A and B are shown apart, each in its own frame.
Chain A
């Protein structure tokens, strides 16, 4: 499919469905009295690769969960393709896949059955067709030999790859990745980046990628957002990241390792 076609293929009907956009509108989320997200707003147009960066604990995973409707906003709204993400029926209308930070593989199913569950449950193909899809996804992520293993028998990086393969089999319109490359070697990370870019070029899949990987952000992102302390501190083209205005963003992106005056010692003297 040429890049100019702005639609994704729907495996249910094989019909082309329009690519979907995501809008986060003044989103606030608190757990008890603890505010995790504070008035976050941005829009990801259909077919864009949006990379979300930010320090650990800044609320990136919580934000992704709002997009698939696993967390409900305290205030504000998240819409996917114009539909309220908090509404259960949105998941029926838009195919979304989330690659969980911890994988969230089904521990009682083999790798093969983990991948095959979605097409089987949604009756997308017969068993032979499913086998072909699943084996292709496993091949892309160099997992052919792991098909009959169980999640408990896999290494951390393999689990991550299985989680990505499982999301690929879903042929989603919207892909959400929570740190897809954090446990992978450089070559596998490059493969993941290529997959994300190819899904965009060929199928116009919208992707939101949470990652600490600057190469990934600079290499494939259309736009980058930086979330710090629950607020969006930066939103722009990857090229603008080289010369950030905000000093905290600059420090986050290019931390200097200071052996004379290490950060943890600074904390001690402050206290």
Chain B
């Protein structure tokens, strides 16, 4: 019961925060500096790890499907398999999970400490809405950076699959034929689908982490609790939303 009321309260305050942040959209041009700073933080902290992880995920996908398909001659479809799974599912979900872990936690910690040390109160008395200068630039930045992260994950993952396919003895497909099947059978829809998902996940993660941070109450100990809560809620939402968005887009 408590969990349910907490969840509803969280949903309400998150939607309210979204509405507030969006109502300041026209101040975005003069917040360009903050926007760029957030783009840098989101992109810079997440890109390397997204690249490394998607390389290995692409490789493992190729290995597993090569292993499963080696007995009935399905291995020329490895390119297609890696391509589709990466772009439709794994790249967006993985990018969002890494975003929650690296960027979401940092946002929650920063805003929670601003709340606990009364900086948010100071902003409010100065009639500078936190939704305008703290939330809006982050939302705008994640909206721009999430597709970039996802496309990088797609490309690196495909590339990883191609390398493994060439050098694994029971697969041994040349990159030319790996990419040929991918080009032939995979539609741009798959990539687009993944980009839409990533955009939704990224936006939700940043919004939820901002909201959890801003609603922190109490002392320094609550900052740690806020970070944990922000990340856990983000992860749950990513996976739940993944199901529903996939269902809608299918």
Contacts and interface: CB of A to CB of B under 8 A. Distances in A.
A68 B125 contact: yes
A92 B127 contact: yes
Contacts of A95: 127
A118 B126 contact: yes
Residue of A92, A98, A102 ringed by the most chain B CB atoms within 10 A: A98
A41 B121 CA distance: 25
A68 B127 CA distance: 10
A123 B127 CA distance: 13
B118 interface: yes
A70 B128 contact: no
Contacts of B128: 117-118, 121-122
B220 to A, nearest CB: 13
A245 B145 CA distance: 68
A97 B127 CA distance: 10
A233 B124 CA distance: 31
A106 B127 contact: no
Interface string B117-134: 111011011111000010
Contacts of B118: 100, 102, 104
> Which of A65, A70, A95 gathers most chain B CB within 10 Å?
A70
Q: What range describes how many residues of A lie at the interface?
A: 20 to 34
Interface in B98-115: 110, 113-114
A92 B114 CA distance: 22
Interface in A100-121: 100, 102, 104-108, 117-118, 121
A25 to B, nearest CB: 21
| Contact-residue size bin, chain B (C-beta under 8 Å from the other chain) | 10 to 19
A91 interface: yes
Nearest to B121: A70
A107 B126 contact: no
Contacts, number: 49
A192 B25 CA distance: 40
A269 B113 CA distance: 43
A170 B121 contact: no
Contact of B122 (A92, A104, A121, A122): A104
Contacts of B121: 65, 70, 100, 104
A22 to B, nearest CB: 14
B31 to A, nearest CB: 9
B122 A100 contact: yes
Most chain B CB within 10 A, of A65, A104, A106, is at: A104
Nearest to B127: A91
Interface string B126-163: 11100001000000000000000000000000000000
B16 to A, nearest CB: 13
A106 B119 contact: yes
Interface of A: 65, 68-70, 91-92, 95-98, 100, 102, 104-108, 117-118, 121-123, 170
7 contacts: A92-B127, A95-B127, A100-B121, A102-B117, A102-B118, A117-B126, A117-B128
Given A91-B125, A91-B127, A123-B30, 9 more contacts: A91-B124, A97-B125, A97-B126, A100-B122, A102-B118, A105-B119, A106-B122, A117-B126, A117-B128
